[in-house]
Amino acid sequence: MKRRVVITGLGVVSPIGIGKEEFWKNLIKGKSGVRKITLFDTSKFKRHYAAEVKNFNPSQFIDKRKLKFLGRSSQLSIVATILALKDANINFKDVNGVLIGTTMAEHQQVEVLLKEWFKGDKKIEKNRVVLSPASNLSANTAQSLKIKGLNMLIPTACSAGNYTISYGFDLIKKGDADCIIVGGADALSFIAFSGFQRLYAMAPKVCQPFDKNRKGMILGEGAGVLVLESLEKALKRKAKIYAEILGYGLSCDAYHMTIPHYKGIEKAIKKALDSANVSPEDIDYICAHGTGTIQNDKAECKAIKNVFGRRYKKIPVSSIKSMIGHCMGAASSIEAVACCLAIENGVIPPTINFQTPDPECDIDCVPNKSRKANLRIVLNNGFAFGGNNCCVVLGKLS
């Protein structure tokens, strides 16, 4: 249990950029990826905005003959993985497995299948059925890149990306693997959009985390993938190291299906700090879950106040969901990519759309403009429906 685990590759497909360079450039500029939805008709809904991945051409990365057998979520996951492997300069033969997190998996395929069933179509293509299982997301990612070994889908919704990072960390630390692909992927669909709107959780046009007048989340889509390696392996092959994974914390609120509870969040943060063997005074930045909903932001801020005490106002806490929307199962893995780039570049991404301070969320949310900072240790928060919480601590390699 003494092996150290590091991050050597980053792959991201997001509403503000494909690839780490474009993503980071737009992130620190405070660029919003929120636009009117074009992927499906929203005329019957009250809400019409989301953060879509624009200019996404998977045929640039994936054989066109294979695309018809891959749903959009799989395409996002595969492209992000290709980018991560290229960034890490590592061969697929050296990878011991793939862990992908998700909320909805290949729900677009289920959507098409249901439409055909409801029409009474008796000639449903068998490929439609084969494309539908959720496990396809991780299976397709591994199969497309010929990665053998462990293959797992982790469906803990909006904290799933952090869960894969945590499990990959354990596998490498215990010596069960030397290199693991981890991350999350989710695509926008009619089903996802209608479901979140039915919960009355969506804002009309903009996401305003921690703002007093926030009106809810904005859905997004994308994929964030990271290459994890043992420090020994990374040093041996002289790999670039973005950050070290110091520890993580898990908790389950067991409180409400959709409303978070601050005690569960607090427990996950404390466990993460204990696992990483760091104190609250050591954290230089918190990448918040920060959905922009009334209850989530309030609960997260209360937990931060309880854990960090008098210091809570001095710690920068920003939400990149203000720019990329809530990318569901990809959210915390894309945020982990942002944390790595923040550590590397010494810049904290902003929380955009912030206008009016909220007394219940009186944190330093890095409002509207990015900020230079020397980041040694950062905390990445990920929370999900059902109270599935996972916080990961990342640090600059020393």
Positions marked active-site: 158, 289, 326
Among 177, 176, 158, CA closest to 101: 158
What is the sign, positive or negative, of the torsion defined by CA atoms of 228, 231, 235, 236? negative
Q: Which residue reads 């007093």 in tokens? A: 212
Among 397, 390, 396, CA closest to 158: 390
Distance between CA atoms of residues 339 and 286, nearest Å: 9
- Gyration radius (Cα) of the chain, Å: 20
Distance between CA atoms of residues 13 and 23, nearest Å: 8
Distance between CA atoms of residues 55 and 336, nearest Å: 23
Q: 283 to each of 103, 138, 142, 260, 377, how far by Cα in Å?
A: 29, 33, 35, 23, 5
Q: 186 to each of 106, 110, 183, how far by Cα in Å?
A: 8, 14, 11
Amino acid at 18: I
Distance between CA atoms of residues 21 and 15, nearest Å: 13
